[in-house]
Amino acid sequence: MRKFFQEIKADLKFKTAGPGQKLSEPSRVPKEKPKGEAAPKPRQAPTGEAQMAAAAAMARLELKAKAKGPEGVRSQVRKELLAEAAASGTGLSVENEDPTSPDKEGAVALSVSGVYFICPLTGAVVRRDNKEKHLKEAIQAYFSVDPVTASIMAIHTFNKDQEKVRVGVETMAKYLDNIYLHPEEEKYRKIKLQNKVFQERISCLEGIHRFFQAVGFEAKTLPTQLLSLLIVETTEEFYILKEEMLTKLEDLKDYKEQLLSSEPVRAQLDRQLCIFKPSPEAARFELPGDFYNLTAEEIKREQRLRTEAVEKASMLRTRAMREKEEQREMRKYNYTLVRVRFPDGYILQGTFYARESVSALYDLVREALRDDWLPFELLGPGGLKLTDESLAFNECGLVPSALLTLAWDAAVMADIQASGEEQPASPLKPELLSRVQTLL
Q: Say whether 13 sits in a helix, a strand or coil.
A: helix
Taking a C-beta distance cutoff of 8 angstroms, is the pair 117, 294 a contact? no
For residues 90 and 379, the model is more confident at: 379
- Judged by average pLDDT, the poorest of 78-87, 207-216, 356-365, 369-378 is 78-87
Tell me the helix, strand and coil percentages in the chain, rounded to 5. 45, 15, 35
For residues 59 and 365, the model is more confident at: 365
Task: Return d(Cα 349, Cα 353) in angstroms, integer.
Answer: 14
Sequence-ordered list of residues with C-beta below 8 angstroms from that of 385, at least 6 positions apart, any chain: 377, 378, 379
- Is the confidence at residue 438, as pLDDT, over 90? yes
Taking a C-beta distance cutoff of 8 angstroms, is the pair 354, 335 a contact? yes
What is the CB neighbour count within 10 angstroms for residue 372?
11
Structural domains in the chain?
116-268 (1.20.58.2190), 329-438 (3.10.20.90)
Q: What is the pLDDT of residue 386?
A: 92
Task: Return d(Cα 137, Cα 150) in angstroms, integer.
Answer: 11
Average pLDDT, the chain: 78
For residues 253 and 227, the model is more confident at: 253
∠ CA 348-352-356, rounded to 5°: 130
pLDDT digits (tens, 9 = 90+) for 281-305: 999 999 888 887 765 665 666 666 6
The amino acid at 96:
N
- Judged by average pLDDT, the poorest of 56-65, 186-195, 283-292 is 56-65
- Is the confidence at residue 4, as pLDDT, over 70? no
Task: Return d(Cα 413, Cα 408) in angstroms, integer.
Answer: 7
Q: What is the pLDDT of residue 72?
A: 42
Q: What is the pLDDT of residue 92?
A: 38
pLDDT above 90 as % of the chain = 55
Of 100, 92, 142, 102, residue with least CA distance to 121: 142
For residues 305 and 54, the model is more confident at: 305
- Judged by average pLDDT, the poorest of 23-32, 37-46, 237-246 is 23-32
The amino acid at 84:
E
> What one-character DSSP code corresponds to residue 109?
P
